[in-house]
Amino acid sequence: MTNLAAPPAEFNFAQHLLHANQHRGSKTALIDDAGRLSYGELGLQVQRVATGLRQLGLQREQRVLLLMHDSTDWVIAFLGALYAGVVPVAVNTLLTAEDYAFMLADSRATTVLVSGALLPTLQNAQALALQSAQHAVKHLVVSRPVGALPEGCIDMQAWSSLTPGLPAPTAADEPAFWLYSSGSTGKPKGTIHTQANLYWTAELYGKGILALREQDVVFSAAKLFFAYGLGNALTFPLAVGATTVLMAERPTPQAVFQRLKDHQPTVFYGAPTGYGGMLASPDLPPKSALALRLCSSAGEALPRDIGERWTQHFGCEIIDGIGSTEMLHVFLSNRPGDVRYGTTGKAVPGYEVQLRNEDGSVITGHTEIGDLYIQGPSSALMYWNNREKSRNTFQGAWTLSGDKYSRDADGYYTYAGRNDDMLKVSGIYVSPFEVEATLVQHPAILEAAVIGKTDTDGLTKTKAFVVLKAGQTLTEDEVKAFVKSRLAPYKYPRFIEFVNELPKTATGKIQRFRLRDQERTA
């Protein structure tokens, strides 16, 4: 475990950040689509939002829903809630009114901080929550309104002149914020994190692995509502006094390239799907147009081919790692200068990992696939109102990741898929990710997802859903032959379906359960 000193028993992470940056008053902290915000301005606005929330009557540990596009206001709102001891529930901006109605009722949030562009959807959710769950929202605070504000709504800008107040005397282990799981395996779960969890991820990964520094400019394609994006664009850079570039729109290759060229970030955070899309884009900029020194990837394991091609083109490494909503950020990772593409690296110092068999015994050998367990200081407390899944996931000091991995003789871990994605073909486990990583090596294939399909004899065989690059054509036999030439024969996909796109979460994870559901109803 790490030798870092733990934060004191009384600890408020927002206060911690403001104190750490009090000597950087004029330095730019945040850049978004509307402008820049200095560290001094950020500190004042955080304290004023805390005052505004208190004036609405919110008490310590009460929840507020945070439904906002990435912007300086998102950061101010999140930290302002922490500063006040109020619990922000940060949610995905790409969901439906029905989803938000569930989250409102589930979290019991009576106040919502919402971007103006998302207000109509939120109002629909508000009506649905009242109708279906008898849950009433009392206050709507709107960031950057679009047109005239509806009656009863509060313009967040109106809080900019309030008197800053004192931070809430929160405890390090006190519930500080929620993140809903991304739903890659079904219904999202409210995951409760503490004030100290943010501190630990900044120290162990942001400083310990990425070695972020004050001179860095960082940009994350992953959004702030995602655990990965929260660390990338808020926790880590603000912990060292760096500058963050924020983008409200979806991270298309063109939108990402524009920010990389305009603001010259030195550190970029993405996901495998995004890196693959950028490499396939005709607008891919030359190395000379950018200032990148380091890139990071998480969300799903990074295929070796994508990592190698990115490094060849831009001359900088992608540090691939795995984290989770439950652990808040990356706990298993490659390191700068020690990248082994095709693996997820080794445990981040401060975390311990184990591979276990189905009977719970620890795997000590090499190459055998097992369930990945993690022990570390950033683990969530529990899932809200879900004791059964909490007990299954949070097992004493250990957290069950839901991922399967193998470990080689050098101690590097290689992803083998989600627990519910693993396939047993002819009595042998097959990793869908291994097959997918092989498929995307074909120059005509952009993306692929592999699931199990029951054949006419009732046996499980692999099926691949394949997305081709623009203008490319392939036959099923050509795809099968390509995989056979690179993997053991029993691993090649027996069934091929060409599709235009794959179902994904907003954070880019492939939703294989939707493909499985599609097969069952076909």
Q: Which two tokens stand for residue 499?
A: 């599709």
Residue with tokens 């700068």, as numbered in its chain: 336
The answer to whether residue 217 scores a pLDDT higher than 60 is yes
Query: What does R_g of the chain's alpha carbons equal in angstroms?
Result: 23
Mean pLDDT within 350-370: 93
Q: Tell me if 73 sits within 8 A of 142, measured CB to CB.
A: no
Q: Is the per-residue pLDDT at 223 higher than 60?
A: yes
Q: What is the pLDDT of residue 428?
A: 66
Q: Which of 170-174, 186-190, 286-290, 518-522 has the lowest mean pLDDT?
A: 186-190
User: Is the distance from CB of 494 to CB of 462 less than 8 angstroms?
Assistant: yes
Supply the pLDDT for residue 521.
79
C-alpha–C-alpha distance, residues 181 and 188, integer Å? 5
CA distance 240 to 206: 9
Residues 242-250 have a mean pLDDT of 97
Query: Closest Cα to residue 29, out of 247, 269, 307, 242?
Result: 242
Average pLDDT over residues 411-431: 78
- pLDDT band at 184, cuts 50/70/90? very low
- How does the average pLDDT of the chain come out, rounded? 93
Share of the chain above pLDDT 90, in %: 81
310-323: average pLDDT: 97
Residue 338: strand pairing partners = 335
On the CB side of 380, how many CA atoms lie within 13 Å of its CA? 28
pLDDT at 460: 75
For the question of whether the overall pTM of this predicted structure is more than 0.75, the answer is yes
Report which of residues 487 and 439 the model is more confident about. Answer: 439
Distance CA 116, CA 221 (A): 22
Whether 475 has a pLDDT exceeding 70, the answer reads yes
C-beta neighbour count of 338 within 10 angstroms: 12
